[in-house]
């Protein structure tokens, strides 16, 4: 079995069992914590993706304000990392 065959089987399994969104959420959460390192990651409580909107729960109001100025840069970084346009908007709460 080649890598492409295995990838196709995994994709089919994820789609049939409605697991794609959950796997994507885990992947994007891991990516967020790796990209943001300890500074921002320490204040991040939750990361969720729904309908191409990335919801990030932060415990610091000042950090929410500061990150809101760079939303487009964050969107570009995430989409570049995933080589796909999976995020169109970021909401901090």
Is pTM beyond 0.85 here? no
Residue bearing the bigger pLDDT, 10 or 75: 75
**Phi and psi angles of residue 66, each rounded to the nearest 5 degrees, phi first:** -65, -45
pLDDT digits (tens, 9 = 90+) for 18-63: 888 888 899 999 999 999 988 899 999 999 999 999 999 999 999 9
> What domains, with CATH codes, occur in the chain?
3-92 (3.30.300)
Give the CA angle between residues 84, 63, 89 to the nearest 5°.
30
pLDDT at 22: 86
* Distance (Å, whole) CA 71 – CA 6: 36
DSSP element (H, E) containing 56 = strand 53-58
Q: In what order do the strands lie in the sheet containing 53-58? A: 44-50, 53-58, 89-92
């Amino acid at each position: 079995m080649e890598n492409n065959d295995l990838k196709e089987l995994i994709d089919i399994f994820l789609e049939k069992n409605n697991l794609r969104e959950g796997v994507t959420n885990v992947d994007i959460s891991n990516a967020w914590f790796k990209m943001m390192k300890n500074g921002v990651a320490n204040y991040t409580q939750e990361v969720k993706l729904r309908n191409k909107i990335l919801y990030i729960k932060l415990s610091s109001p000042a950090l929410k304000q500061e990150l809101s100025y760079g939303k487009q840069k964050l969107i570009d970084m995430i989409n570049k990392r995933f080589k796909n346009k999976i995020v169109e908007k970021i909401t901090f709460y």
